[in-house]
Structure 1
């Protein structure tokens, strides 16, 4: 696969924006944090459940917490708001596939676990962050993540994940309607096949599997975390203030 050249710029954010990235330990999250640090003057929150945390600095706030329910989400957002003195942007990358059981054999607990991780937790995080943004009365941006495969029924071994991610699409629209009156935008990103480590970590794919999957994409390659991160930064920036309630597919033309 040929090396991909990227432009040496990303959309600039307003100075001193306070942005929390939840589930930041994956490929997209770490690249997003890095690009924000290099390209913008903002205060960043790096949240992960169990991963090794980066060193705290004046502009980077590490927050390690397992998110099992609404109270955990409330505590996480409150910690960031306390340390950053507010919140202007929230990127919700929390999610994953907790098991690869075919849907015919899923237990109720397995079904519920993936719905909680991929739909309930993002909802609680977004709702709590919006409440803080409304109190601040300065607007804000919330970015949620879906997946392109959810529009096509998902996979037999990841059906609850796909169902939850389809629910994210509804969340984006519902929350955007409420946030608009306060100048808060809510948008979503729907990645396709991205070389972020997701498929290796959650689905046990090897290099041969990944190459075969890339050949199915019209552009004949996987997307990169940098490409997804750049879109995320655009949606956090002032250039996107007239965009809300939208899902943006980044798929290389997959499923055309």
Structure 2
């Protein structure tokens, strides 16, 4: 099958962690995958790794918080392939910790841009090409923090993820007439570079997190990727406006 005949998936923030595993899984599912990131050397390495497995992949560098850069690059991807079948808005992060009293406006705007604006920018740019795709869908990432407001200093992260939950449902309403589905996943504690620092410096703390999870273990990036794969597939063709918790029961707050 030529590249132009393959289904096309764009995954933001895909040079490591969950994003890379999602790109890998979609590539294994037969998609041509476009990995986005801002670490160009790592992006090139990851594309080569996927290509050695026979996956059609390329890396495109842009900052998901930059409106113009997102629009330019997503449009270029859509024009190159003639369509986009799946957009995975994986990019995001805590951005740091700050209580609201001491929080600077710049920090607030950065975290909101990283987690919420990025979803809007990428989705808006992709919609014209998703309309040309097959069983097209957008998959976003929210968090338990969207419901429990996050831990100390993570209030604005929680606020941004609450916005992702809302925009997922709003996009689903907006795009239903075109047959474009929009869903979200909500990963719990997953063993990724996101937690690398505490895992390295306080391994006992990292290990203890399993105690608050019903299944008594930390999740794996591949376990998130498998759910994203399902949501992108025809098996999920009647699922839209939903959020799937992937946390081993962590959301129950035991």
Q: Which bracket does the TM-score occupy, shorter chain normalised? A: 0.7 to 0.9
Asked if structure 2 preserves the Cα contact closer than 8 Å seen for 1:151 and 1:166, the reply is: yes
Deviations 1:188-215 (A, max 9, x none): 0011111122123699863222111112
Distance 1:45 1:114, change over 3 A: same
| Aligned-pair Cα RMSD in Å | 2.1
Structure with the largest fraction of helix? 2
Between 1:245-254 and 1:78-87, the stretch displaced more is 78-87
Is 1:37 the equivalent of 2:27?
Answer: yes
Q: CA deviation at 1:64?
A: 1.3
Aligned to 1:26: 16
Aligned to 1:3: none
Is 1:79 the equivalent of 2:76?
Answer: yes
SS at match of 2:250: coil
Aligned to 1:128: 125
- Any unmatched runs of 5+ in structure 2? none
Asked if structure 1 preserves the Cα contact closer than 8 Å seen for 2:198 and 2:206, the reply is: no
TM-score, L = length of structure 2 = 0.87
Counterpart CA distance in 1 for 2:96 and 2:146 is 17
Aligned to 1:10: none
> How many residue pairs align between the two structures?
240
Counterpart CA distance in 2 for 1:45 and 1:95 is 17
Q: CA deviation at 1:137?
A: 6.5
Counterpart CA distance in 1 for 2:199 and 2:122 is 26
Aligned to 2:36: 47
Counterpart CA distance in 2 for 1:243 and 1:173 is 12
- Any unmatched runs of 5+ in structure 1? 1-14
Counterpart CA distance in 2 for 1:59 and 1:31 is 15
Between 1:174-183 and 1:208-217, the stretch displaced more is 208-217
Residue among 99, 114, 130 paired with 1:117: 114
Structural mapping, 1:83-98, within 5 Å:
83-98=80-95
SS at match of 2:9: strand
Asked if structure 2 preserves the Cα contact closer than 8 Å seen for 1:137 and 1:182, the reply is: no
Counterpart CA distance in 2 for 1:87 and 1:255 is 33
Aligned to 1:62: 59
Is 1:164 the equivalent of 2:170?
Answer: no
